[in-house]
Chains A and B, each alone.
Chain A
Amino acid sequence: MYEASDLKKGIKIELEGEPYIITDFEFSKPGKGQAIYRVRMKNLLTGYSIDKSYRSNDKFQPANVSNLKLQYSYFDGTNYVFMDPETFENYSVNADLMEDKKDYLMENMEVDGTLYNEMVIDVTLPSFVEMKVMRSDPGVKGDTATNATKPATMETGLEIKVPLFVNEGDVIRIDTRTGEYLARVSTK
């Protein structure tokens, strides 16, 4: 159990049956008054933040949240299936949770999973991935603007903007946090 005075940024607590991470914490104490612990925390299931005030003897249950390495296996039509490479245990992740991330997934890709009561509630992709360009029209000749780009479709179906010199079959590095092209790794 935590007391309000133990709370700090990054601590995960359970509140009304849901896990929260503390994102901001302020101790205040008016004049001759009692200590007030003002906490901003993010619901790890919904992503919504809330603000609450507590007194020093309020108690909190730590949330049963842990992190583990997972390997992406396959999409079964409803869920994305990941495997713990140490125990070979499979975890199904709801498609909604992967909405913005699914186009970066490649078989056996290693990701960071967040586990809450034995359920994966969040998946963090590696910051950089390397992928093959499946389709991209050749750059228009004579276009010499230095930052000119063209659309390209990756092997996973991901669509991003790439520089004109990138060709089909090239392998490029992409920043998964911004969805931006970073560099060409190899050419066909």
Chain B
Amino acid sequence: MEVETPILTDEPLPEANIEAIKTEKGFLITSPEVYMKPLLAQGAPNIFQITKCFRKNEHGSRHREEFTMLEWYRANSDYAKLKEDTIKLIRFIAEVLNTQAIERGDSEIDLFANWEDVTIDEAYRKYAGHQVPEDDFQFDEEMTRLIEPNLGWNKPTFLSDYPIKYCPMSAACQSNKNLGQRFELYIAGLELANGCTELSDWEKQRKNIEIEQQRRAQNKMQPYPLPETFLKAMMTFPPAAGAALGLDRLVMLFTRSDDIQDVLTF
């Protein structure tokens, strides 16, 4: 079911590395999660929407402060199912466009070959030459410099099972509680989608949000009120999974654009 939820919110979800744009009347959403999850909690089984999102100070050849997101949720599901959804979605678009592969530089990324799935642990060993670093800056710096540029050539790549500290909204892996059931999708080095099995334990969810609030304070980010409306709704949240896909970036890939500006009208 397609849904439409507000773009303006009084209670944005706190994330340690994403800053909302503040307006006279509240904040612009950084993701529709804050309203879509409460819909699931009220009984909606499968929902999606395409909406504008806003993230302060994100400018670059792959970033804009205002961008378009496709976000979807499935009740009683997990991140493996969302990976299947993502594959089906992108292959469907390719079929409509009569395209077998995405061309990028000298490479062709075959969308109909078996997609690759590597864990974070495998990716650091393979591309950084060591195990997953403890330090947050090292983790992110090596991710953007050594890992991301190598992902999703020949065929699309899922990067899976992040350290749980980077998954404040995700369920832990059953085999290893230190990892979260979260994935990112890469095509030609471009990060395209993020998904996870959602955390449905509302007490743990409240605790994680408080931790994110503290991390924001340490990072000298603007204070948000605690998202009480969201947290209250989470008390009836079902087991579920959700994913978000950057539509501007998807258009970049199918139009062979190197800069997000090339796929925007203004």
Contacts and interface: CB of A to CB of B under 8 A. Distances in A.
A32 B191 contact: no
A53 B141 contact: yes
Given A26-B60, A27-B60, A33 B145 contact: no
A30 interface: yes
A50 to B, nearest CB: 14
- Determine chain B's interface SS by DSSP, over half rule: mixed
Interface centre among A26, A30, A36 (most CB of B within 10 A): A30
Contact of B140 (A5, A27, A33, A57): A33
Interface residues of B, number: 28
B137 A27 contact: no
A29 interface: yes
A31 B184 contact: yes
Contacts of A56: 57
A117 interface: no
Interface in A25-47: 26-36, 38
B166 A28 contact: no
A31 B137 contact: no
Contacts of B57: 5, 35, 56
B141 A27 contact: no
Contacts of B17: 29, 32-35
Contacts of B191: 30-31
Give 4 nearest A-B pairs by CB, closest first.
Answer: A27-B60, A33-B140, A28-B144, A30-B143
Interface in B150-208: 162, 166-167, 184, 191, 194
Interface residues of A, number: 17
Interface of A: 5, 26-36, 38, 53, 55-57
A39 to B, nearest CB: 12
Contacts of A38: 144-145
A26 B140 CA distance: 14
B15 interface: yes
B233 interface: no
14 contacts: A27-B63, A28-B144, A28-B148, A29-B17, A29-B63, A32-B15, A32-B18, A32-B167, A32-B194, A34-B17, A34-B137, A36-B140, A36-B144, A36-B145
B140 A30 contact: yes
A29 B58 contact: yes
Contact of A55 (B137, B145, B148, B194): B137
Contacts of A30: 140, 143-144, 148, 191
A56 B219 CA distance: 10
A57 B220 contact: yes
A5 B65 CA distance: 14
B9 to A, nearest CB: 19
